Amino acid sequence: MSAGRVLFVFAGTVSLGIGIIGIVVPGLPTTPFLLLSAWLYLHGSKKMYNALLNHKHLGRYIRNYREVNGMTLTMKLSSISLMWFMIFISCKYFIVGEFAVIIVLLFGAVGTVVMGFVIPTVRK
């Protein structure tokens, strides 16, 4: 396996880990990180890509996206609004420490950029 493919698999695994954490951490987006993982695995390892797509729980996030090849504007705005609402609630009431708050805000910013500008906007 070439160094480039190893890098894609490594980055995909990191992104997958963040996406899995996002399932249980309010404000941390899940779908953008799973989509990024799928893209990275597609370029690094078809076996890892297929395993992710066929995963009992995580695969549905990617399959839902693939069915319509993006998100509607309403879905994006709803997702981003809910995500930031949960980020602010979490940072205000549940997260202790400035460093943790900064990390959550950075992940929220990444999720917003991915949902807003990377994921295609589709019409119904």
pLDDT per position as a tens digit, 3-56: 999 999 999 999 999 989 888 876 677 888 898 999 999 999 999 999 999 999
Question: What Å distances lie between residue 87 and 19, 22, 60, 100, CA to CA?
Answer: 15, 11, 24, 12
Calpha distance 81→76 (Å, rounded): 8
What per-residue confidence (pLDDT) applies to 82? 84
- 113 closest CA partner among 3, 39, 32, 20: 32
- pTM listed for this prediction: 0.66
Q: Which two tokens stand for residue 62?
A: 């990617």
In this structure, what is the dihedral angle of CA atoms 114, 20, 50, 67, given to the nearest 10 degrees? -50
- The model's pLDDT over 64-91, given as tens digits with 9 standing for 90+, comes to 778 888 888 888 898 889 889 888 988 8
